[in-house]
Amino acid sequence: MTLNQKTATGTVGATKQLTATIAPDNATDKTVTWVSNTPAIATVDENGLVEFIGEGTAKITAETSNGLTADCDCTVTAASK
């Protein structure tokens, strides 16, 4: 499995869409579970949409039902005023 981005940067309040690609194309179960290791910094929904919540770094992990994983390291900075 691969993600469309290995790193993502943005400001508090911004979002990024992550997309997981599962191989082979004919895999029968393409279920992906998304998890953030630091939800106070960045959250992720069931579709891979990341929302930047607070300043800092967080790792978003996508995991297939058979245990394959891919990560995206997120860096969040303060929004410009």
Cα gap 53→68, rounded to integer Å: 27
pLDDT at 33 exceeding the cut of 80: yes
Provide the 10 A C-beta neighbour count for residue 16: 19
pLDDT of residue 5: 97
pLDDT number for residue 51: 98
Distance (Å, whole) CA 18 – CA 2? 10
CA–CA dist 76, 33 (Å, integer): 22
Task: State residue 69's pLDDT score.
Answer: 96
Residue pointed to by tokens 């981005």:
5
Q: How large is the average pLDDT for residues 8-16?
A: 97
Beta bridge partners of 63: 33, 69
Output the pTM of the full model: 0.94
Structure tokens at 7: 């790193």
Interval 57-75 mean pLDDT: 96
| Residue 55 and residue 78 in contact, taking contact as beta carbons nearer than 8 Å | yes
